[in-house]
Amino acid sequence: MNSSNDGTSSLQDQHLARASIHDLPVELLSPIISLSIQGYSARLKQVQNLCFVCSKWRDVVEGTPELWCRLTGADPLEGVRKAIHYSRDYPLDINYNYNTPHRDPNPNEFLTAIAGHVWRCREASIDVDWRTQRILDALTVDKAPRLESLSITACNPIRTTLTLFQGATLPCLRTLRLRGIPLVWDGAQLFNLQKLEIVTYKVPLMGLLSVLQVTQGLEEFTCIGSTSQALDGDHITVLLPALKRLRIHSFGTSSWLDLFKTIRAPACQHVSLSGHLTRDLENPNNLAQIAEGILKLFPWKAADGEERVRITVAPWEATLSSSTLHLVFSHSTRTTQLTKWMILNFLDDLEEIWLSINDDTWNTNQLEMLDLPTLRRKVSKLDITASVLERNAILEYLSNPNPGFDGQNRWPLPDLTELALTVTAEDLPVILRMLRGRAQAIGLPGSVRPQSVIRLHLSENARNSLDTTEILAEIDSLLRGNGGSLTILRWGPHCGPE
């Protein structure tokens, strides 16, 4: 009996040993093949190679339409036509750009091959120039009821205005990206948009507003360029209840203000504004109008008392971030003025600020410009990144009080409770001297209490030498004596606010 059972087990083992993926039923083999090629950029080539494995695999691959639905400019023209045939009426994803190898088919031939199948396109990303503009016009004549995402980029200036699919309604279109493409704007055509990105020199304002008026589900809106005309007299109000991210880049204040006058986005949490602000910084009235326009754009909610607002100063931009707001303003040389303007206009006296300096040109004069009694804001954390060259000078500035207007000594950044900076061993004596001076001032008549807690972040390479052990111990003891702590991190970006 045992012998019989052993024999049966042996036969089963032999059968399992001979089993392979070729023995799988079609309904299992087909999804396995589909998953195996998802990560390939040249997907169509991989699909064609699978047809040469064996006759069964060829039948499975050719009988699985979804394997043939992604077409790119890198695919041979014969392969494109074969894919269109085997994909049957499944939705197509089309990508034609100029970053593909030189063996690409002629763009006219590629776009001509797919032009008759636009009605089943789901995603399309196309680069155009003078050779392909006419084909693009022909490509967008037919209706595209399945189109969910469309991206068109002009590689050379395009002067002819494109009528997108002859104005036909695009019921499934959720994402539209246009770069350098002049378009006839039609709000009724694009009513279901969730993401809209426009990068062009001139944007027809009234046409754009006709789209924004009906896109109640729009979540992200990017407009890089100037509007073609200003609004005079009465203007419409466009409510975008679902808008969460807004980015506007323009070289003219009027473009910002025109959009601010019309758009209302109560749920918006990320606003990025950039452009050429030289004249605006010289004209306080322009900056006042921009601030007023931002506050009208969406209801600014002050952060909770326990939340820190982060102000980041970089070489080309100043950023204000909290849980409910993200503002970015750019300028080549006046980021300090922008930072001060942002603090005065968008933060009240109770806001707690984490100031992050990531500008190699930053010095004590710039820090003092923000550290004025008139700001009356609480800078509780100062983060000085490794790119700042004058770290020692800034530490010296923080080490000494200055007489105020009332004759009382005032310490720089009197509410500072946390300091994060990347230093070398040579910086440690200056840090210790700063901490001693600020700690000894606590409770003295005529002084402002500098801090109750300081948390100091140092880079790991500052403790590699044995000579730094003693001074690090003094810093640690001083910090612990004031209820703080010393944290030593590896060289690199500092951790975020807690």
Number of Cβ atoms within 10 Å of the Cβ of 20: 7
CA distance 345 to 348: 8
DSSP state of 495: P
Q: Which helix (H) or strand (E) holds 38?
A: none
Q: Quick one: tokens of 134?
A: 């006419």
Find all residues with CB under 8 Å of 134, minimum gap 6, and list them. none
The C-alpha atoms of residue 127 and residue 120 are separated, in whole angstroms, by: 20
Nearest one of 343, 390, 393, 330 to 371, comparing CA atoms: 343
Q: Are 123 and 149 in contact (CB under 8 A)?
A: yes
Pairwise CA distance, residues 187 & 238, whole Å: 12
Sign of CA dihedral 335, 340, 346, 352: positive
Half-sphere exposure of 153 (CA within 13 A, CB side): 10
- The pLDDT tens digits of the residues spanning 293-346 come to 777 776 665 545 556 789 999 988 888 888 777 888 877 788 888 888 888 888
Cα separation, 170 vs 186, whole angstroms: 11
Residue 308 CA, chain-centre distance (Å), reads 21
Tokens of 84: 């269109």
- How far is the C-alpha of 434 from the C-alpha of 403, rounded, in Å? 17
Which ranges of the chain have pLDDT less than 70? 1-42, 98-108, 131, 135, 138, 229-235, 251-254, 275-282, 298-307, 350, 373-374, 403-408, 441-456, 458-467, 490-498
Pair type for strands 402-403 and 409-410: antiparallel
Distance, in Å, from the CA atom of 395 to the CA atom of 457, rounded to the nearest integer, reads 14
Q: Which two tokens stand for residue 79?
A: 């392969």
pLDDT in tens, 51-70: 777 777 778 778 888 888 88
The one-letter amino acid code at 216 reads Q
**Whole-number pLDDT of residue 101:** 45
pLDDT of 441 reads 63
Q: Which residue has the tokens 């971030």?
A: 321
Query: pLDDT at position 448, please?
Result: 43
Domain locations along the chain: 25-68
Distance separating alpha carbons of residues 425 and 463, to the nearest angstrom: 7
Partners of residue 127 on adjacent β-strands: 153
Which structure tokens are listed for 438? 């600020």
Element (DSSP H or E) covering residue 306 = none
Cα-based distances in Å from 382 to 150, 233, 314, 362, 429: 44, 46, 14, 13, 19
Instruction: Answer positive or negative: Cα dihedral of 289, 291, 293, 295.
Output: negative
Strand partners, 96: 126
The SS3 call for residue 493 is coil
| pLDDT value for 91 | 92
What beta strand segments (E) does 149-253 contain? Answer: 149-154, 175-179, 195-203, 220-227, 238-239, 245-250
Rounded to whole angstroms, how far apart are CA atoms 139 and 112? 8
- What is the torsional sign of CA 291, 292, 295, 301? positive
CA distance 66 to 313: 49
**pLDDT tens track for 224-240:** 887 776 556 566 788 99
Q: DSSP letters of 245-259?
A: EEEEEES-HHHHHHH
Q: pLDDT digits over 13-37, tens only?
A: 544 444 455 666 666 666 666 666 6
Say what the pTM is.
Answer: 0.74
3-state secondary structure of 425: helix
